Amino acid sequence: PHAHAPHVCIWCLQDSLGGNSRCAILVTVRTEAQNLDESIATLRLARRAAVVKTVEKKNEIKVRDPSKLFGEIASLSGQLEAQQDAVLQLQAELARREKDEKAGQAELMATLEAYQRE
């Protein structure tokens, strides 16, 4: 038997039990004695679900002032451009550091080879 099934069902359905949806719950039970515990748990779930009251609400798209939207677009475009500039600066800094690291490694290798020749 699935002792935790009612809790799992409620958890899975929690987003569907309110807001912008209608919900119907259909349960099935078995009459055999070995299924008694599961059938009772299922009926208890149905009883708890039956008392849940939901309020439907219509999805509405709020129309915003176009001039404000154009202002937001301009602001976001400016932010995007600033971020792109920052990325380019960071990439240039990374390239410079990688070049310096390679030069340092080459210098270290040359020094090591000089010591090995001695």
Residue 77 in domain: yes
Same structural domain, 71 and 44: no
Sequence-distant (≥ 6) Cβ neighbours of residue 101 within 8 angstroms: none
Highest mean pLDDT among 3-12, 27-36, 85-94: 85-94
Residue 56 lies in a domain: no
At 1 the pLDDT is 46
Whole-number Cα distances in Å, 62 to 56, 58, 65, 67, 117: 18, 12, 10, 15, 79
Residues 74 and 24 in one domain: no
Two structure tokens written together for 85: 């500039």
Q: How big is the chain, counted in residues?
A: 118
Q: Is residue 46 part of a domain?
A: yes
Query: Residue 103 sits in which domain range?
Result: 62-118
Is 83 a domain residue?
yes
Co-location of 36 and 70 in the same domain: no
95-118 pLDDT per residue, tens:
999 999 999 999 999 999 888 887
Q: Are residues 68 and 117 in the same domain?
A: yes
Answer whether residue 55 is part of any domain: no
Q: Read off the pTM.
A: 0.41
Cα–Cα distance measured from residue 90 to residue 72, given in angstroms and rounded to the nearest whole number: 27
Q: Are residues 69 and 24 in the same domain?
A: no
Q: Give the chain's domain count.
A: 2
Longest dimension (CA), the chain: 94
DSSP string, the chain: --TTHHHHHHHHHGGGSSBS-----------SGGGHHHHHHHHHHHHHHHT----B----PPP--HHHHHHHHHHHHHHHHHHHHHHHHHHHHHHHHHHHHHHHHHHHHHHHHHHHH-
